[in-house]
Structure 1
């Protein structure tokens, strides 16, 4: 309910003012920002709340701010991840290709042990395999490189242990040489 002294904004026009008089059930006199009195329909006046009324109390306010910050950070991390993995994963209809060369996964692997590098590569393999399963991709090609065959062996051990229903074999020699494994997901 609008009363004399209330600060209001106009529903159908730009500006605001203060109610100086209630003329009747339908109209009120409002002093606009320029100091002039104008007659307005009460139904077209919107009561302005003070900044204090818009604020949330203590804990609610802190929680809402935290939620917004967390959402922004999550979005930033997602954007950063997508930038880093842009060339790493490619999709063609029901096929997915993942490159596990360490240079493709992280900015710098300087100072990392072979075991640490292998852990990063296997973590990425498991994550991409789960993504492929969720997306119902039929064929997943994992590019692991030739090297000493440690990563290839680890990938195949993981598949045999935890995904015994999935078939796998060397990917196309013509396209990948000996450095890739093709997984058929049912």
Structure 2
């Protein structure tokens, strides 16, 4: 059964606990908006379309009870299990905190308001990374006068199990901070 994706479909990411709605399709790449309002891009083969319960009922009702029992009782060949590293370990969440990326217009906003919007975004992304066990995040704050950077560092210092440092100068210049989340081995 081949998945044909369309904008608006609900999808899940294979091997990760991420679900969302398709907002853009370009060639074999699909951009989804997660339930936490993050936009993420995946290849077609990394996603599976979520079906509503009516469609699932039609799939399961096509087999009789005896056929299902026969399939369950027949001996199946054992397959070797291959372990692979999770894409979550390679994934780095990049968060652009430039105000024009966060709000449609800065008209009527004072510097204090803009700073609070940016810090609220940082808090949301921190909680998202902790909840979804994402090991690394990069906050792109820009150089400016350094007010946002110092407020971010103050905020990050209040969290346990977080390490932060200036991000790669080669990749981000001077205006970014890398955040590493120490994961408990559960």
TM-score by length of 2: 0.50
Question: Residue 131 of structure 2: which of 108, 131, 134 is its match?
Answer: 134
**CA displacement at 1:165 relative to structure 2:** 2.7
- In 2, the alpha carbon distance for the partners of 1:123 and 1:116 equals 11
Work out whether residues 90 and 97 of structure 1, in 8 Å CA contact, stay in contact via their aligned partners in 2.
Answer: no
Aligned residues: 103
Structure 1 stretches (4+) deviating beyond 2 angstroms? 89-94
Q: Helix, strand or coil: the match of 1:152? A: helix
**DSSP 3-state at the match of 1:141:** strand
Matches of 1:165 and 1:138, distance apart in 2: 11
RMSD: 2.4
- For 1:142 and 1:90, the matched residues in 2 are separated by 19
Q: 1:159 aligned to 2:156?
A: yes
Higher RCO (CA-CA < 8 Å; seq separation 6+): 2
- CA distances 1:81-124 after superposition (whole Å, capped 9, x unpaired): x49x666x779733211101000001001121000000000001
| 3-state DSSP of counterpart to 2:138 | strand
The TM-score with structure 1 as length reference comes to: 0.50
Q: CA deviation at 1:135?
A: 1.1
Select the structure of larger CA radius of gyration: 1
- 5+ residue gaps, structure 1, are 1-78
Cα distance, 1:181–1:175 mapped onto 2, change above 3 Å: same
Deviation string for 1:16-42 (max 9, x for gaps)? xxxxxxxxxxxxxxxxxxxxxxxxxxx
Q: Is 1:169 equivalent to 2:151 in the alignment?
A: no
Residues 172 and 150 of structure 1, relative CA distance in 2, 3 Å threshold: same
Q: Is the 8 A contact 1:102 1:121 kept in 2?
A: yes
Q: Are the equivalent residues in 2 in contact too, given 1:90–1:98 (CA < 8 A)? A: no
Q: Which secondary structure does the structure 2 equivalent of 1:168 belong to?
A: strand
Whether 2:173 is the aligned partner of 1:182: answer: no
Partners of 1:90 and 1:147 in 2: CA distance? 30
